[in-house]
Amino acid sequence: MSLKNLAFSNKYNVLVTGGAGFIGSNICKWLLNNGNKVRCLDNFATGKKDNINDFINHPNFTLLEGDIRDLDDCKKSCEGADYVLHQAALGSVPRSINDPITTNEVNVSGFLNMLVASREEKIKRFVYAASSSTYGDSESMPKVEEVIGKPLSPYAITKYVNELYAEIFAKTYGLETIGLRYFNVFGRNQDPNGAYAAVIPKFVIQLVNHETPTINGDGSFSRDFTYIDNVVEANIRSLIVKDSEAINTVYNVAYGERTTLNELVKLLIEYLSKFDDYIKSINVKYGAKRAGDVPHSLASIEKAKNFLGYTPEYDIKTGLQEAVEWYWENLKNDTI
């Protein structure tokens, strides 16, 4: 059953931290479209007002400008909420290498603040964005939730600490938690600009501007690229799952297939050239490998299928086609 057919028997009052960000804004929109009350906590460090413009005046939507590093902001945002979908974080491995202190303050101290606030405000369930970076130097393929290696970046350390804290709060305080290890999420609302843009939006904007994309390494590194609607589905299923065995654990959120960077660029050129034939003639160049990068990433999604009923609808090709169309339209209209 896809997200489109997912029945919502109850209506919820949900706090989405980082709700103006890439993933958070997509979650907010889905929840609002399905009759729920949504509040968004965001400090707009990486989130954007443009991401929430479509629903900022929705009667069931409340925007709270605040910072998860401030415990009072966290407590105020949790007041009256039933559930928390915690998406707020500072992403990017390179950013964490350049500035590990801020990454730790947001991703660890901010995360702990949200757990404390959720406990004190008696939140029913705390669903949080974990990361595939937790697998670190583990060479096992596909990645299975119970087998991880040593982290390869400050960012990866922070996301693993999140899982440890969530486990302790579940055992010590009885707070229901579910962690979702995202694998290379892409799609609408993902910012193509800035020094830490993810690879897909970065390549898209370069190709649209007739620039030459640079691949770090020889292009053989592979990722389990995951379209945004699959991630929204995993969050919603984590929100509503009733089985006690499905709670207080972590899940991979991916499609379960891997694509090399060379294959990725080839697909992007193919799909973008439908709008601009010149893009067919653009060649890529290759640079040095990036510090902290994991060579290959492929998820087993059996656990999420079995316990959450997770059934991702979008593979890399269908997801990229939707994403490319969104980027082309928004770049053409100068809205991103």
Q: Which domains does the chain have, with CATH numbers?
A: 11-186+228-255+294-313 (3.40.50.720)
- Rounded mean pLDDT, 78-87: 97
What digits encode the pLDDT tens for the residues 130-152?
999 999 999 899 999 999 999 99
Just list the catalytic residues: 155
pLDDT of residue 252: 98
Full-model pTM? 0.94
**What contacts 290, CB < 8 A, 6 or more positions away?**
93, 94, 216, 217
The whole-chain average pLDDT of the chain stands at 94
Orientation of helix 316-332 relative to helix 228-240, angle to 10°: 110
**What contacts 318, CB < 8 A, 6 or more positions away?**
227
Provide the token pair at 81: 């909420």
pLDDT of residue 208: 94
* pLDDT for residue 1 is more than 50: no
- Tell me the H-state helices in 241-282: 261-272
**What contacts 99, CB < 8 A, 6 or more positions away?**
none
CB atoms within 10 A of CB 161: 17
- Rounded mean pLDDT, 179-199: 90
Rounded to the nearest 5°, which phi and psi values hold at 101? -65, -50
Are 218 and 286 a contacting pair, CB within 8 Å?
yes
In whole angstroms, what is the distance from residue 323 CA to residue 310 CA? 21
* pLDDT for residue 114 is more than 90: yes
What digits encode the pLDDT tens for the residues 47-76?
999 999 999 999 999 999 999 999 999 999
